[in-house]
Structure 1
Amino acid sequence: MSPRTTDVWARALTDTLTTSADTPTLNTARRLLAAARPQLNVNKGFATAKFTLPDGRPARARLLVEELTAAQWERIETAITTRTPTTSTIGDDLADPHHTAGIPLLPSARDLSHHCTCTQAPAGDPCAHTLAVGLLLAERLRTAPAPLFTLRGRPYQHIKKRLRDGELTTVAAGPAPASVPFPAAPPLARPVTDPTPVIPAQQPASMPEPADLDLTTARPVLAGPLPEPPAPLPALSAQQALVADAAHRARALLTGTEQPTGPDTGSDLARFTALEHGAPFRQAAMDHLALDVVAMGHLTLAHAHGGTAGAATYLHRYTLDHDVLARAQADIQPLRPAPNATVECEDNHLTDPAAGIQLRYGPDGRWHPYLAPYGTWQPVPGPAADPADAYRSARTAARAHRRTR
């Protein structure tokens, strides 16, 4: 994308902010930005930054933006995809609602609300800190469209993928269920109906009379395969795999090498299919989790790099405290090749689009690194409790990928 392709977006947001603000507050906001460049976090529905008050206390400012509905995004994406098959033309023309199905991407004054912990302005009114957040956001929009898409409720990576593929339906890049509070066990990628009928409870049969057993005479080994069990019992091959899995876990427990089972069915299926006895059931796992071949391959990689926690991190999103994301962003800031570019924060995902790196915070308390060399985020080796270490691992993987191309 050429420079300044979204300059109209920046000017429009600046006009919206400055029109609704009084001059002294606006001047104070500009002085704040001139004195310090706070880190801007962009999330679905809000942008935020932290400032330091004269008495040393922190002021956390949020500029809240009304998100568009899923139906509105579907209309917008259809209009954009119909108009052009590439992402190279995303720019100022999309500021015109005629190109986005009559739905404006740019928020109006009534789509914005202000919240800050400084208490220097009445609740809901703009203070210098929230105005500074808005002006910093406008500056980012001058050359990068990603923050606006994220703010309005749809990650830019999603838009780019649809434009690149030229499809009017979402391309699967791994499941994306609704966010759940971290670190509660997340749901499956989609509800799956178990076709097995429920067997009604029956009264237990009476115990038979004890029989005399001959334990000294040799017995012949079973010759030939066992017959298939009657429905609705699982197939014989499935039962044998379950027995083998139980034996595998028992050996691991006895030798002290036991790995934790997955926090949900999906991540445990990743563990199971990575083993020799579970590999034949890979297709059944894909069907159960509603994954295509590429996404199943990425799930396998996530498990290989991060165990069952890595698989859960790939399959599910979590709600993560903003301060955790802010600290992680501060930790990776010295390592970023484009330190002034926007960092996107969504749920437990920390994305540096300029570097092509994403970190995902998992239920194991580690940051799992991801790259998107082909437009879809895929896990790479090196999860770590320190986000800086995970970011370094992602950059190492990126250099290795460039060498092999």
Structure 2
Amino acid sequence: MSPRATDAWARALTAAVTTVPDTGTVHAARRLLAAEATQLNVNQGFATAKFHLPTGRPVRPRLLVEELSAEQWKRIETALAARPSDHGLSDELTDPAHTAGIPLIPSAQDFSHTCPCTPATGPCPHTVAVGLLLAERLRSAVEPLFTFRGRAYHRIRKAVRTAKSGDAFLAASPGADPQSNHLAPAPAVLVPAQQQPRTPMPDPVDLDLTAAHPVLPAGPPPPPAPLPGLAALGALVDDAAHRAQALLDRSEQPAGPDAGTDLARFTALEHGAPYRQAAMEQLGLDTVAMGHLSLAHTHGGTAGAAAYLHRYDLDHDGLARAQAAIQPLRPAPTAIVECEDNRLTDQAAGVQLRYGPDGRWHPYFAPYGTWQPAPGPSPDPALAYQAARAAARPHRRTR
């Protein structure tokens, strides 16, 4: 499922956001956006931004939405997996007929509003402005809407791909039962013991116990299935020695926190390089993605590989502090910064920062439309942002 946005998403969300507020409130919200540049933060169940009251006091209004349940997401994923081809996030998904009757765009009744500017709960210019900001964001990328409704888009895409690959496996498997969607067991044939053929006893063999024979005439025999081959077992022995030496030297933590990051570490070593293709198949990565995973490990170690492969939950305050740190460095300070999971994305600058399990921000840039790891991870998001900009600079000059 490849992301593709159109204006239909923005128009639908704008209509939902402006249904309940009166015309004066909507006009005041638009004047706020025209007068004050602010960044939008999208989280599961709410979106927020910072504005200033006439007194200069800052306020952070929240536009809250009713999140879809796990059962509703499961039905949506099933509907998307049943589509005959990969249309991505086209505007047809704004029609609930394509998402199991469950609308992705919330209705006006799904919203609730909180803002320090008024003690009453209801739409004010600030919360309406947050909704209009989100609608404008959907013109270029629809993924924040999925986060807003309660589930990150990458989780939906993974579930749909898994379902599609599972259906293809069942369709290609002999003995598959298309009605039950389970593999049909092969019928068992029982043979009475009296009718079973008897294996004749072999004839005795004359052994020459006087002649010399080599102990290993042709080398060790191959390990029995399903054990790995001799070459693979040798690589595992070499890797165990490497891990032990790294632990003794205390130079690094050699093992990754999961299979994916450990495969990035393993294939970066001389004894693991021949198994790069097998690692790609195991992780479900293509050649470009595997190259980026290797770069992430080169620049940031196993934590860098983990930040490439996985998303982590980072509290909103941590994202807000990082966003404030990079704000003076941004070439387009009024453009939206997308905050999702552990990632800050500045599309206008072509920069993304990913917070890793090592407590560092790992820089990314997108020279060809795909996020690529850059050198220079740092606990300081401003330094990581500068590293990503430096990595992108040669590509901007050659365009």
The one-letter code of the counterpart of 2:107 is: S
The one-letter code of the counterpart of 1:111 is: D
List per-residue Cα deviations over 1:129-173 (Å, max 9, x = no partner): 4233224445556x64545576457889999x9xxxxxxx869xx
Separation (CA, whole Å) in 1 of partners of 2:38 and 2:338: 14
TM-aligned CA deviation for residue 303 of structure 1: 0.7
Separation (CA, whole Å) in 2 of partners of 1:258 and 1:100: 47
Match of 1:384 in 2: 378
Residue 330 and residue 60 in structure 1: after superposition, are their counterparts in 2 closer, same or farther (change >3 A)?
Answer: same
SS at match of 1:331: helix
TM-aligned CA deviation for residue 59 of structure 1: 4.4
TM-aligned CA deviation for residue 241 of structure 1: 1.5
Match of 1:40 in 2: 40
Separation (CA, whole Å) in 2 of partners of 1:255 and 1:140: 49
Query: Are the equivalent residues in 1 in contact too, given 2:243–2:254 (CA < 8 A)?
Result: no
Match runs of 1:195-274 below 5 Å: 225-231=219-225, 233-274=227-268
Q: Pick which of 290-299 and 126-135 moved more.
A: 126-135
CA RMSD of aligned residues (A): 4.3
Find the partner of 1:349 among 343, 355, 358: 343
List per-residue Cα deviations over 1:274-329 (Å, max 9, x = no partner): 11111222233233323333322221111111100011111111111111111112
TM-aligned CA deviation for residue 100 of structure 1: 9.2
Separation (CA, whole Å) in 1 of partners of 2:81 and 2:298: 35
SS at match of 1:267: helix
TM-aligned CA deviation for residue 255 of structure 1: 4.1
Separation (CA, whole Å) in 1 of partners of 2:254 and 2:117: 45
Match of 1:114 in 2: 113
Gaps of 5+ in 2: 1-5, 163-213
TM-aligned CA deviation for residue 265 of structure 1: 1.9
TM-aligned CA deviation for residue 109 of structure 1: 0.5
Query: Are the equivalent residues in 2 in contact too, given 1:369–1:394 (CA < 8 A)?
Result: yes
The one-letter code of the counterpart of 1:289 is: L
Match of 1:131 in 2: 128
TM-aligned CA deviation for residue 369 of structure 1: 1.6
Residue 273 and residue 103 in structure 1: after superposition, are their counterparts in 2 closer, same or farther (change >3 A)?
Answer: same
Q: Pick which of 26-35 and 306-315 moved more.
A: 26-35
Percent identity between the two aligned chains: 69
Query: Are the equivalent residues in 1 in contact too, given 2:38–2:336 (CA < 8 A)?
Result: no
TM-score by length of 2: 0.66
Say whether residues 1:305 and 2:299 are aligned partners: yes
Query: Are the equivalent residues in 2 in contact too, given 1:51–1:60 (CA < 8 A)?
Result: yes
Residue 278 and residue 96 in structure 1: after superposition, are their counterparts in 2 closer, same or farther (change >3 A)?
Answer: closer
SS at match of 1:354: coil
Q: Pick which of 376-385 and 95-104 moved more.
A: 95-104
Residue 222 and residue 54 in structure 1: after superposition, are their counterparts in 2 closer, same or farther (change >3 A)?
Answer: farther
TM-score by length of 1: 0.66
Q: Pick which of 372-381 and 388-397 moved more.
A: 372-381
Gaps of 5+ in 1: 162-168, 172-219
Residue 74 and residue 66 in structure 1: after superposition, are their counterparts in 2 closer, same or farther (change >3 A)?
Answer: farther
SS at match of 2:387: helix
Query: Are the equivalent residues in 2 in contact too, given 1:80–1:100 (CA < 8 A)?
Result: no
TM-aligned CA deviation for residue 365 of structure 1: 0.8
List per-residue Cα deviations over 1:47-95 (Å, max 9, x = no partner): 212356799986443213456746547868999988xx899xx78x987
Query: Are the equivalent residues in 2 in contact too, given 1:60–1:118 (CA < 8 A)?
Result: no
Match of 2:310 in 1: 316
The one-letter code of the counterpart of 2:131 is: G
Separation (CA, whole Å) in 2 of partners of 1:11 and 1:286: 40
Separation (CA, whole Å) in 2 of partners of 1:297 and 1:153: 32
Higher radius of gyration, 1 or 2: 2
SS at match of 1:345: strand
SS at match of 1:319: coil
Query: Are the equivalent residues in 2 in contact too, given 1:383–1:390 (CA < 8 A)?
Result: yes
Match runs of 1:142-181 below 5 Å: 144=140, 146=142, 151=148
Separation (CA, whole Å) in 2 of partners of 1:238 and 1:98: 51
Separation (CA, whole Å) in 2 of partners of 1:47 and 1:75: 27
Residue 330 and residue 120 in structure 1: after superposition, are their counterparts in 2 closer, same or farther (change >3 A)?
Answer: same
The one-letter code of the counterpart of 1:126 is: P
Q: Pick which of 260-269 and 66-75 moved more.
A: 66-75
Separation (CA, whole Å) in 1 of partners of 2:141 and 2:276: 39
Q: Pick which of 300-309 and 33-42 moved more.
A: 33-42
SS at match of 1:318: coil
TM-aligned CA deviation for residue 227 of structure 1: 2.6
Residue 73 and residue 373 in structure 1: after superposition, are their counterparts in 2 closer, same or farther (change >3 A)?
Answer: farther
The one-letter code of the counterpart of 1:274 is: A
Separation (CA, whole Å) in 2 of partners of 1:54 and 1:80: 54
TM-aligned CA deviation for residue 29 of structure 1: 5.3
Separation (CA, whole Å) in 1 of partners of 2:141 and 2:222: 59
Residue 295 and residue 118 in structure 1: after superposition, are their counterparts in 2 closer, same or farther (change >3 A)?
Answer: same
TM-aligned CA deviation for residue 104 of structure 1: 6.1
